[in-house]
Amino acid sequence: MDLEFGAADEEFRAEVRAWLAEHVPAEPLPSLETEEGFARHREWERTLGADRLSVVSWPREHGGRGVSVLQWLVFEEEYYAANAPGRVSQNGINLLAPTLMKHGTPEQLARVLPPMAAGEVIWAQAWSEPGAGSDLAALRATATRTDGGWLLNGQKTWSSRAAFADRGFGLFRSDPESERHRGLTYLMFPLDAEGVTVRPIGRLDGKPAFAELFLDGVFVPDADVIGEPGKGWNVAMSTAGNERGLTLRSPGRFTAATERLVELWKERADPSDTALRDRVADAWIRSRAYRLKGFETISRDDDIGAESSLNKIFWSDLDVALHETALDLLGADGELESEWLENYVFSLAGPIYAGTNEIQRNVIAERLLGLPRGAR
C-alpha cells in the first residue's frame, strides 16, 4: 500500500493539531475514575462534540465529519501526541456504536448516536458477571418477555464507567432452556431506571473505575433490543471484535507514549544502562510496528475477525511493558502520583479485559492456526 499521506490527509492533520493546541487543557484533568474527574471529562467530550471531533469518521447526521478511517488514525495520532484528556465516552463510541451501525435499526442510530457524539449520554459496558467473565457464554442474568419489552434480572460486575455513566449495554439470557451461546439477547438499558442498583468497585488506588450492577425487574422496551432476540451472541461478537481490534486502542496511543518514554530516557537514564536503553528502544519499535499493522488493517476490505485477537494481545502486552520501563526509569519517583503511575495501573488490566489474553491465545490457536481444540 501507499504509505504517503495525501494533501487532504495532511490538511486534516494540520486542522486537528491547531484545534488541539487551542483547546487541550494546560493542566491534566482530574482522573476520570472520580466523580469530579468524570464530570470534567464529560465536559471535554462536549467540547469535542461541538466541533464534530469526538467521532470524526462517523457520518455527519450522527455527529461526525464523515472522514476516512485513515484520517481517523491521523486524528488519533494528533490527539495522543497533544496529550489530550482520556475519553470517558470510549465504551459508547468504540464498542456500542460500531455494533449499532452493523446490527441496529435506523431509529436506534438516529436516537442513540447523536447524543453519544455530543457527550450528552455516557455509556457503560455491562458484560461480565460473577460467574461469567472470560467465559461470557456462562452468563446468568436474564431478560424475560413482557408486554412491550423485557424485564431484566441478575447481576453484572466489573462494568467500566458504570459508577457515573448514564446507560449500559449487555447480553442477557432470554431463553431459560438454552445453553451457552444460544438464547441470548443484546439490550441497552438506563442506569437510573427503577430496579437498577449501582455499587461502585474501588480499584487498587481506591478510585471507582468499575461498578457492580444489580438488576431487579428492570423494564426495557423492544426498541432497545439490538439485533434479533435470541441471537445476541452474534451481535456481541461484533462488539468484541471492535474491542480487541483498532478502535479501542489505536496506534496513536502507543506512538505518543513511546515518544514520551524516549524523552524520559534522555532526561533520567544512566547511558551505561544498556538493558534499560534496549527496553525503551523495543517499546518504540513495537509501537511503530503496531502503527504499520494498523495501516494494513484499514487497507483491507474484509473483517479481520479472529485476527483482532492478535491485536489485543500485542497492544495489551506493549502497554504494560512500556509503562514498567517508564517506572524503572523514574526509580523511587515512580511511586509518586503521576500520569505514568496512573497509566501503569490501568495497563495491568489490559491483558484481562476485552477477553483475557489466555482466551485470545486459544482463539488464535484454534481459528487462525487450525490447532485441535483444547480441553475445556
Q: What count of other Cβ atoms lies within 10 Å of the Cβ of residue 169?
A: 24
Rounded Cα distance between 1 and 265, Å, is 34
Show the CA angle centred on residue 119, arms to residues 113 and 120, nearest 5°. 80
165-202 pLDDT, tens digit per residue, is 999 999 999 998 887 788 999 999 999 999 999 999 98
338-361 pLDDT, tens digit per residue, is 889 988 988 998 898 877 899 889
- Whole-number pLDDT of residue 220: 97
Please give the full DSSP string across 145-175, using - where no structure is assigned.
Answer: EETTEEEEEEEE-S-TTTTT-SEEEEEEE--
Q: What is the pLDDT averaged over residues 244-253?
A: 74
Mean pLDDT score of the chain: 90
**Closest C-alpha to 194, from 130, 158, 151:** 151
Lowest mean pLDDT across 76-80, 192-196, 240-244: 240-244
Q: What is the pLDDT averaged over residues 31-39?
A: 92
Rounded Cα distance between 185 and 155, Å, is 15
At residue 262, what is the residue type?
V
Instruction: Specify whether the CB–CB gap between 171 and 186 falls below 8 A.
Output: yes
Phi (first) and psi of residue 342, to 5 degrees: -60, -45
Show the CA angle centred on residue 243, arms to residues 237 and 248, nearest 5°. 160
Task: Check residues 202 and 109 and name the one with the higher pLDDT.
Answer: 109
Report yes or no on whether pTM surpasses 0.85.
yes
- Whole-number pLDDT of residue 171: 93
Q: How far is CA 255 from the centre of its chain?
A: 17
The H or E element that residue 327 is part of is: helix 308-330
Whether pLDDT at 243 is above 60: no
Q: What is the pLDDT averaged over residues 35-54?
A: 96
- Whole-number pLDDT of residue 238: 73
Instruction: Specify whether the CB–CB gap between 293 and 286 falls below 8 A.
Output: no
Three cell numbers at 99? 455494533
Catalytic residues, which ones?
A: 243
- Whole-number pLDDT of residue 242: 59
